[in-house]
Every structure is written in structure tokens, then in C-alpha cells.
Structure 1
Amino acid sequence: MNGLDPRVTPANGHAAAHELRGVLEATRYVKGTIRTVQQPLVNLSDAPRGDRSSQLLFGEAFRVIDERDGFAFGQSLRDGYCGYVLSAALSRQEAATHWVAAPATHLYPRARLKAPPEVAIFFGSHVRVTSDLGEFQKISTGHFVPTQHLQRLRARFSDPVGVADMFLGTPYLWGGCSRWGIDCSGLVQQALVACGIDCPRDSDQQSALGRALHQGEPLQRGDLVFWKGHVGIMASDTLLLHANAHHMAVAYEPLDDARRRIAANAEGTSGGAGEMTDRRRITRNG
């Protein structure tokens, strides 16, 4: 055992990233190739045709380390998460200029509201704008996106809870990260990243963010609370906002109710298990 977390270690037994030379043994070491996701969503799986671990959004960058049998193994540049995606979901690297700051947006074939949209992409997706047409922005695919739904690449929100609230009612989906479906840590990651705060993918990784609250220190809006296998964000000192399998959706829930319910759920069958494990206050630098 090398002690490395496989979730963020770009190596799969066939190849490893060049920076891992001398850290772990591999048949070959490669620099990798940066590709761009060309589908609205693509699953990031733990093995070819395996279980979904996370998802990548349209326009996101993915570093390919190894490619065979229609699957690419590599690493998301969003959070360093590693896994397998369908090779057909990736295209050549493209520099984005804007990101989608609405829960979802339609890609119109023409710059007209009545033109039938061909597909939708989701909050956090990256696009390259090629023409500003006022009410619409033309992007590199040839589609048109409502101007109100886009922000410049470096633009950020200021309130993570406000971002998380945009996902209210979104179906719960293990490994999901979009309005189509999202899980607890995906919701927290989207909320923090949209506010310029670096955030890893999984709840156990997120429990290292910010600082632990002192015993007796009251919770406030924006604090994160953790259980084994679960995380939520506080909308106030008493109200929790979280994606969970109990509601099968992103929902508000009184924290005391959630604590009692999860404490009684020793097996974690509906999101989280046992007593609360941590309370963290997030700062702007993470």
C-alpha cells in the first residue's frame, strides 16, 4: 500500500501521471492530455462501466492519463478527482470565457426565444462566447445562450447558501453535481466553488475545510455540518439545507430534526449515519 488516496491519484495500473514518478510504481508515466467535456453531463466512474463516483459538466477540463476500449482514465481539473469517462464525451481542449450561473440554460439553435432549444446545460458549465448579440451570446458550438444565464469566467457569487438554494427540489443522485441530480457533497462543492472557495468532491474531504467550531460556539449561516457519509450547509443557526436520500431531493430541514433522524439511522440508508461528527466555519480562502 502506498497510502495515496485513489480518488485523487492519477494512476490506474496502466499509466500514472509523470509527477508520481518515484512515488508509486507504474508501467509508464505520462504528462497527460487536457480534453474538454462536450456533453451536458458525463459520469465519472470508478472503473470502465463501473459505478458513478462523480460527474463532469459541459466545458469542464479533464486530464486524460490513459485511454483504451472507449474509456478515458484521468483527473478532473475542477477538484482533482480521478476516474473513467466515455472517450466520446471528450473533445479537444478549449479555453472558456464564461460559465453558466443559472440552475440550467437552454442552447438555442438561433438567437430567438421561440426557437426550439436543442439541449440544456447546467450550473457551473463552461462555455466559450464567440459573439455578443445583446440578449443572447453565441458560443463556440454555434448555439445561443441567454445573456442573463452567463457570467464571466472569474465572476463569483458571495453567498454559498444562496447558491445552494438555487438547487432546492433537485432530485437526489449519488455522485450528481447538477440540477439534473445532485448529492450532499456535490451541493456543497457547487455552492463553495461558485463563491470562489476551493472545495474537494467528497464529504470526508470537505471536513478539512475552514476551521472547527469550538464547543458551544453557535452555528451561523454558511457553516457546514457533518455526519458519517453526509454534509449539509446551514441556512441559519437552526435550519439545514442539504441534498439527502430521506427527502430524495435538496431540501430545508430543521437541524434538530435532521440530527434525531440521522442518529437513529445507524446504517446510513437515507443519507448520513449516527451522531454529528463535525461543524466547520468556511473562510474565503477555504
Structure 2
Amino acid sequence: MPVNERWVCAVSAATVWSDPNSPRLVDLPALNYPVQLEKWLAQLSFEERLALSDKGQIQTQILYGESVIIDEVVGDWAKVIACRQPSRKDPRGYPGWVPLVQLSAAKKVHTEEFVRVSARKAWVLEESGDPFLRVSFNTIFPCGKQQDGRTHIWTPHGWKLISNTDVKRFKPIEELSCGKPLTVGKQFLGLPYLWGGMSAWGFDCSGFIFNLWKACGVLLPRDASDQEKTGIPVSLNQTEWRQGDLLFFREDEDAIVSHVGMYAGNGQMLHAPSTGKSVEQIQLASSIYADKLCRVRRVCK
């Protein structure tokens, strides 16, 4: 397999591990092709989920068709750079390790328009209309003609179909928009937190924020500690906040940022809290986060 070339994710969502030794026996469904995300998440205990963060086993996730650069191949694993996830860890994107079986060679196709999955999850269909693969919110495909309520999309497995009701069409030059990330985010209320999560099967705090703004055409850094440096600074005085502002938190004055949420108005915050909890909208003043607020940033003017 050639290195320093672009490849793409060939499964619904591939987990990017810290190193090839990170996965445990219980994580095998997450390494398969096709990936078995529901099975994997259903069998993880609280302690096993917590270890993903406490032991630094997971870095991030990549979605079906998302580009990566392969830096190195060791056995059945590829060291990759997730090109569409800005990070201070590497100027090219977010680094980590992915099973080779979950990647495929990038095949170029020339289209002027794309579709972004706007539904929480959606089925990619065969040309016959039979289900092929279930994909996550924010998965992006080059697209072709529309026919009978469906759009032709280019995937790592060739031309397929997707329902028009599950996607939004856009052109790259039109992508940038401040949109309504809060409206997008509320469809995930109740979704269990997943450390490193970047899909509708589970988000972590910064992955959630990253994806809400990605859905509006704004590409933020992947991690909260990098997100806090984006946009423009806003006062810690709540009267100056606007819906969509990013709220950053740290444990004490000497600590780095450890959590991020989005201001939802009326003193409330929308966020993905921590392992064992789910995406929620809370009253900030009466929460455990009230005294930990350290920075507010505005993504769009």
C-alpha cells in the first residue's frame, strides 16, 4: 500500500486509535469490515467506555468517504492523517491509526455539487434501491443527477443512491455559512457520549461542536484546546453572549481547556458532557460547569 497518498474511509465510521495496541478484545467489532458500531457500543461497560479516554486509547473518528493520508503501514494497520480535521498535532490534520481493512484507495470523480447527510443517520442504497450501508450525519458525497426522490452519489464503492430527504445539496463555494448550529444540534439530545466520537453513533464534547459547525459549512479544529483559539473573543459576561457562541471550561486556572459547549440562549448550554451521560441542554448557572468557565469565543460575527 503506497504511503503519503490519499485514501478514504471505507466503512460507516472508522475509529482512529492512538496506536495498534490500543484496541482490546471488546473493541473487535469496531475493527471489522464492515464495521459493527452498534454491537461495539452496546457491549461496552461504563468502565470500558471510560478507559477509552482515561487510557488515551482513541484519538478521533473518520466518516465514510473522508480523506486520509497514509504515513506508515505496520502489519494490518495504517498510520493516518485525517485531512479534514485540523489539529495542532500535525499541520496536515489529525493523526492516529486505523485498520487497513477499513480504508480504500481514493477514486476521483468530477462533480460540481455535493450532498451532506442532514439526517441523524441515512441509508446509502444500491442502484436497485436495496440498502447498502448506513451512514452518519455530516457524511459528504460528490453527487450527480436526481431521480425519483433520490440523488446519485459517488462513494468509495462507486455510484450509489441516497434519499433526497436525508441530505442537503451544496457547492463548495457556497459552503461557508453561519447557519443554525443549535437547530442542528438539538436532534442529538439524548445521544450517549463517546470519547473520540465524531458520528451519530456518539460524540465527545469537541467532536459535537466540530460537527455542528461543519454542518453549517464552518471547519473548526477537532479539539477543544484548539477550538478555543478560533473566532473572536467574547466577554465572560453572559449579557454579551449570542446563541452559537462557544463556551470553554477548565478545572482550575493552571489547567488547559477540558470541555466545550455551545450557548443556547436564556442562560442555557448545549453540550456532550462526559462518559456515562448524553447530549443535553442545561442551565449553566446551576451546573457543575458554572465556576469553570474560562473563555467564550464567537465563530461567526
TM-score (norm 2): 0.73
User: Following superposition, which runs of at least 4 residues in structure 1 exceed 4 angstroms of deviation?
Assistant: none
- For the 8 Å contact 2:10–2:102, the answer to whether it is kept is yes
1:235 aligned counterpart, secondary structure: strand
- Relative to structure 1, is the Cα distance of residues 165 and 95 closer, same or farther in structure 2, using a 3 angstrom cutoff? farther
- Aligned-residue sequence identity (percent) comes to 25
Uncovered stretches (5+) of structure 1, i.e. residues with no partner? 1-29, 264-273
Partner of 1:191: 212
1:191 aligned counterpart, secondary structure: helix
Partner of 1:269: none
Q: CA shift at 1:130, angstroms?
A: 5.0
Structure 2 residue identity aligned to 1:119 = L
CA distance in 2, matches of 1:246, 1:31: 35
- 2:263 aligned to which of 214, 234, 240: 234
Q: CA shift at 1:163, angstroms?
A: 1.9
- 2:152 aligned to which of 138, 152, 166: 138
Which residues in structure 2 correspond to 1:143-182 (within 5 Å)?
Answer: 143-150=160-167, 151-152=169-170, 154=172, 156=175, 158-182=179-203
Partner of 1:200: 221
Question: Alpha-carbon deviations, 1:151-190, whole Å to 9, x = none?
Answer: 2353546112122223222111000011111111011000
- For the 8 Å contact 2:3–2:72, the answer to whether it is kept is no
- Relative to structure 1, is the Cα distance of residues 134 and 152 closer, same or farther in structure 2, using a 3 angstrom cutoff? farther
CA RMSD, Structure 1 to Structure 2 (Å): 2.3
CA distance in 2, matches of 1:183, 1:98: 24
Q: Does 1:257 align with 2:256?
A: no
- 2:121 aligned to which of 100, 104, 110: 104
- Relative to structure 1, is the Cα distance of residues 255 and 106 closer, same or farther in structure 2, using a 3 angstrom cutoff? same
By relative contact order (CA 8 Å, sep 6+), the higher-ranking structure is: 2
- For the 8 Å contact 1:43–1:54, the answer to whether it is kept is yes
- 2:4 aligned to which of 13, 22, 32: 32
1:249 aligned counterpart, secondary structure: coil
Uncovered stretches (5+) of structure 2, i.e. residues with no partner? 23-56, 86-92, 251-257
Partner of 1:91: 104
Q: Does 1:225 align with 2:247?
A: yes
CA distance in 2, matches of 1:215, 1:98: 37
Q: CA shift at 1:132, angstroms?
A: 2.8
- For the 8 Å contact 1:39–1:57, the answer to whether it is kept is yes
Question: Alpha-carbon deviations, 1:61-91, whole Å to 9, x = none?
Answer: 0011111211111211112111111111111
Aligned residues: 240
Structure 1 residue identity aligned to 2:242 = Q
2:229 aligned counterpart, secondary structure: coil
- Relative to structure 1, is the Cα distance of residues 218 and 176 closer, same or farther in structure 2, using a 3 angstrom cutoff? same
TM-score (norm 1): 0.76
CA distance in 2, matches of 1:188, 1:90: 26
- Relative to structure 1, is the Cα distance of residues 90 and 244 closer, same or farther in structure 2, using a 3 angstrom cutoff? same
* Higher helix fraction (1 or 2): 2
- For the 8 Å contact 1:224–1:282, the answer to whether it is kept is yes
- For the 8 Å contact 2:194–2:275, the answer to whether it is kept is no
CA distance in 2, matches of 1:215, 1:64: 42
Q: CA shift at 1:262, angstroms?
A: 3.5
Partner of 1:283: 300
- Relative to structure 1, is the Cα distance of residues 246 and 125 closer, same or farther in structure 2, using a 3 angstrom cutoff? closer
